[in-house]
């Protein structure tokens, strides 16, 4: 009887200890935000069902889920007061500002390939404005799209025009530690910049730390494929990555791309910068937002 009583006491004690340990771990998990291996950067609107419409509340939610970056393509069009609030909130939360777009209002139609003085001067004026915007959020990268292909000119002449303008823009940005990142796109075949090797050649010609490549893996899967090899070939000029599965341009795991392997490879090469989440949510509502978070947890487990 004594042995049985002792056994029951010991068993109950072990159960209580296990329960307390489990509760302690759960409490710790609630206190400590998730930590991803890489710096993933959502954009405003991605978690609006959970956080509401206020961009500052959305930033708070992103940080609570473990995301450590932000992308905001439309930053230049936001009021100065909001830009400053975004910057101070990022600093308080320990988050990194990813890219915003150097955009004069009709970015794609500003065709630097034409060599027209009005496009050249407008781009440089926008770069000067971008410097001030970048300071408010401590930005280090800003997206540049050279615009449309000019069918009336040979490709070499177009490239020379683009290089001349980007070199002048880099001279404006470099003293402020702000780099333009050139983004090859797949949206339509009329765009001048479409592949990573083309962007690589332009960056080498500009020859400035303020002119590098934004390698959007969604666009490059569509335009050139063989993602890992092309990343390796252009590695020295790549400063920023963006994410989107193909087809669909939604979160990892919704298309044909193996993002776990891509993240492993890029991290293995020593990249510690931002990965912009420039894609939509595959499903609507809170359920879709939670599914997106779970997709990044799975892809980050490399």
Say whether both 230 and 248 belong to one domain. Answer: yes
Say whether both 177 and 291 belong to one domain. Answer: yes
Inter-residue contact 146 to 116 (CB < 8 Å): no
Cis amide bond preceding 247, omega within 30: yes
Strands 39-41 and 141-144, by their bridges, are unpaired
Say whether both 83 and 223 belong to one domain. Answer: yes
- CATH number of the domain at 158, please: 3.20.20.150
Say whether both 191 and 203 belong to one domain. Answer: yes
Say whether both 12 and 62 belong to one domain. Answer: no
The residues pairing with 179 across neighbouring beta strands, listed in sequence order, are 141
Taking each helix axis as running N to C, give the angle between helix 155-173 and helix 196-206, from 0 to 180 degrees, rounded to the nearest 10: 60
C-alpha span between 211 and 57 (Å, rounded): 33
Inter-residue contact 298 to 264 (CB < 8 Å): no
Say whether both 2 and 71 belong to one domain. Answer: no
Inter-residue contact 120 to 169 (CB < 8 Å): no
pLDDT value for 14: 47
Say whether both 8 and 59 belong to one domain. Answer: no
Residue 174 DSSP label? G
The residue ranges of DSSP E strands in 61-187, in sequence order, are 69-70, 96-97, 100-101, 141-144, 179-182
Token pair belonging to 203: 């960056």
C-alpha span between 24 and 81 (Å, rounded): 42
DSSP alpha helix (H) spans, 32-70: 48-51, 55-64
Q: Please state whether the predicted TM-score (pTM) of the whole model is above 0.95.
A: no
The residues pairing with 49 across neighbouring beta strands, listed in sequence order, are none
Residue 76 DSSP label? G
Say whether both 189 and 224 belong to one domain. Answer: yes
Range of the domain at 288: 35-299
The CA-CA-CA angle for residues 276, 69, 167, to 5°, reads 60
Per-residue pLDDT tens digits for 17-57:
444 443 443 444 455 678 999 999 999 999 999 999 999 99
Instruction: Give pLDDT < 70 ranges for the chain.
Output: 1-32, 104-110
Say whether both 2 and 137 belong to one domain. Answer: no
Cα dist from 176 to 134, 146, 164, 170, 210, whole Å? 9, 21, 20, 10, 9
pLDDT value for 34: 87
Say whether both 99 and 224 belong to one domain. Answer: yes
Say whether both 15 and 128 belong to one domain. Answer: no
Please, which residues have CB within 8 angstroms of residue 266's CB and are 6 or more apart in sequence? 231, 241
Cα Rg of the chain, angstroms = 23
C-alpha span between 235 and 141 (Å, rounded): 17
pLDDT value for 103: 84
Per-residue pLDDT tens digits for 237-278:
999 999 999 999 999 999 999 999 999 999 999 999 999 999
Tell me how many domains the chain contains. Answer: 2
Say whether both 3 and 92 belong to one domain. Answer: no
């Amino acid at each position: 009887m004594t042995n049985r009583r002792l056994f029951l006491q010991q068993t109950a004690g072990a159960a209580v200890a296990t329960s307390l340990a489990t509760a302690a771990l759960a409490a710790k998990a609630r206190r400590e935000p998730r930590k991803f291996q890489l710096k993933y950067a959502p954009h405003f609107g991605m978690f609006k069902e959970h956080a509401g419409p206020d961009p500052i509340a959305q930033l708070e939610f992103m940080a609570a889920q473990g995301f450590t970056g932000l992308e905001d393509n439309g930053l230049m069009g936001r009021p100065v007061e909001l830009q400053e609030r975004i910057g101070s909130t990022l600093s308080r939360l320990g988050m990194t500002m990813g890219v915003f777009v150097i955009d004069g209002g009709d970015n794609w139609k500003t065709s630097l390939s034409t060599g027209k003085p009005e496009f050249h001067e407008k781009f440089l004026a926008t770069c000067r404005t971008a410097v001030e915007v970048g300071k408010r959020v401590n930005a280090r990268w800003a997206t540049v799209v050279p615009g449309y292909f000019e069918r009336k000119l040979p490709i070499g002449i177009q490239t020379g025009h683009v290089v001349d303008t980007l070199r002048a823009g880099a001279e404006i940005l470099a003293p402020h530690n702000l780099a333009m990142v050139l983004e090859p796109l797949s949206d339509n075949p009329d765009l001048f910049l479409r592949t990573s090797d083309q962007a690589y050649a332009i960056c080498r010609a500009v020859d400035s730390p303020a002119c590098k490549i934004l390698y959007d893996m969604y666009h490059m899967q569509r335009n050139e494929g063989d993602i890992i090899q092309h990343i390796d070939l252009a590695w020295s000029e790549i400063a920023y990555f963006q994410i989107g599965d193909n087809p669909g341009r939604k979160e990892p795991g919704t298309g044909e791309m193996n993002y776990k392997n891509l993240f492993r490879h890029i991290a293995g090469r020593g990249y510690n910068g931002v990965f912009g989440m420039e894609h939509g949510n595959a499903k609507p509502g809170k359920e879709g937002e939670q599914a997106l978070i779970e997709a990044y947890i799975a892809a980050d487990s490399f």
